Amino acid sequence: MKTKHVIDLESLSISELMEIIELANDIMRDPGEYSQVCKGKILATLFYEPSTRTQMSFKTAMLRLGGSIIGFDNPQNSSVSKGESLKDTVTVVGGYADIIAIRHSLEGAAKAASLYSAAPVINAGDGGHLHPTQTLTDVVTLYNEKGTLDNMCIGLCGDLKNGRTVHSLIKTMSHFKGNRFVLISTPELSVPQYIKDIMNASGCRYTEMRGLAEAMPMLDVLYMTRIQRERFKSYEDYERQKGVFVLDREKMKLAKRDMKILHPLPRVDEISEDVDYDDRAKYFIQTVYGMYARMALIMKMLENDDRKPMPRQFDTHSTRCTNPNCITYTEEYLPKMFRHLGGDMLLCKYCDGRNLI
Ligand code: NCD
């Protein structure tokens, strides 16, 4: 793999992505063959935000490859509670571990960590921004359950504004041939403009819909998501959005026979429990694919042995990102980095937020 860190799956070429999918499938076929390939290597999981699947599947992945694990799942038990900066934590852990998986509630946190870590960094979810290893999980699931990654009508339903798994999945699937998206949400929770720009730039068709039942008959895949309560300003705002979209047995009657239902989990109330017994429901097997996908990713990333010296100083821009959820807002020492979008628009390299010069 050319890239050292995996902050966004966009840094992987399609052929690198396909290699990871094939490797995940090989491991699945013969796990014993791979049970010692990471012997002597250490994965650090730095989870600043709650997680069940992502954290445990990363740990299980490393253990099943013969490696070891360190880390925290509650920053209050680490020096973060004493006020340690992300930079200092990562600089130190990057010296202990061979690879780091980080989850954080702020957008761009994994990118920030990658600036200071000698070890490769994997983004295990950064606020409402991206979740590349969930997307790897999703593509391994689709590849195995649909037999292709092309020419599909993919419905995404729920919190498309705050759902980082949605953003990462659209970005990746828009690189494959002939996919189109049906975006089912309330107007308040529709996908951010920068994701629409990505679909437009890649020539992918998309439609926004307000009802799940009307969308059902046209879908090859339905990606359900929960309403992300923790990203709302108030509980009242969340209450107004919850329970709007619920997939149940009645709606499943409208779906194609070979449609597949995916969900990154956790589920709250958006899929009724009786759908679990429909053979089109793939959200539990999806978690198993996710473990193999992470095993393949860890293996590929550890092939590079590029440990850069630390610490490094970076040039900083005079503009400050105006996204209050951007990591640069809180960790003020971080160098301000932007990409010029043309005109007077700057794109924050951490959170993808748009800023006027
Ligand atoms: C997702 C996440 O954390 O973004 N879960 C996961 O990693 N499997 C989805 C969610 O929390 O809703």
pLDDT tens-place string over residues 236-264: 999 999 999 999 999 999 999 999 999 99
Q: Which of 49, 51, 231 to mutate to test the pocket of ligand 1 (most atoms within 8 A of CB)?
A: 51
For 150-160, write each residue's pLDDT tens digit: 999 999 999 99
126-129 contact pairs (CB < 8 A, 24+): 126/164, 126/327, 126/351, 127/164, 127/231, 127/325, 127/351, 128/161, 128/162, 128/163, 128/164, 128/167, 128/228, 128/231, 128/325, 129/164, 129/167, 129/351, 129/352
| pLDDT top residue among 53 and 305 | 53
For 14-36, write each residue's pLDDT tens digit: 999 999 999 999 999 999 999 99
Residue pair 168/131 in contact by the 8 Å Cβ criterion:
yes
Rounded CA separation 294/130 (Å)? 16
Mean pLDDT of all residues belonging to the chain? 95
pTM to 2 decimals?
A: 0.96
Q: How far does residue 126's CA lie from ligand 1's centre (Å)?
A: 10
Instruction: Return the residue whose CA atom lies nearest to atom 6 of ligand 1.
Output: 264
What pLDDT score was predicted for residue 306? 75
For 193-233, write each residue's pLDDT tens digit: 989 999 999 999 999 999 999 999 999 999 999 999 999 99
Q: What's the token pair of residue 269?
A: 């109330």
- Give the side-chain half-sphere CA count within 13 A for 3: 18
What pLDDT score was predicted for residue 309? 62
Instruction: Return the residue whose CA atom lies nearest to atom 1 of ligand 1.
Output: 264
187 strand-pairing partners: none
- At 260, phi and psi to the nearest 5? -120, 140
Q: Kindly list the protein residues whose Cβ atom lies closer than 6 A to any atom of ligand 1.
A: 53-54, 125, 131, 134, 164-165, 225-226, 228, 264-265
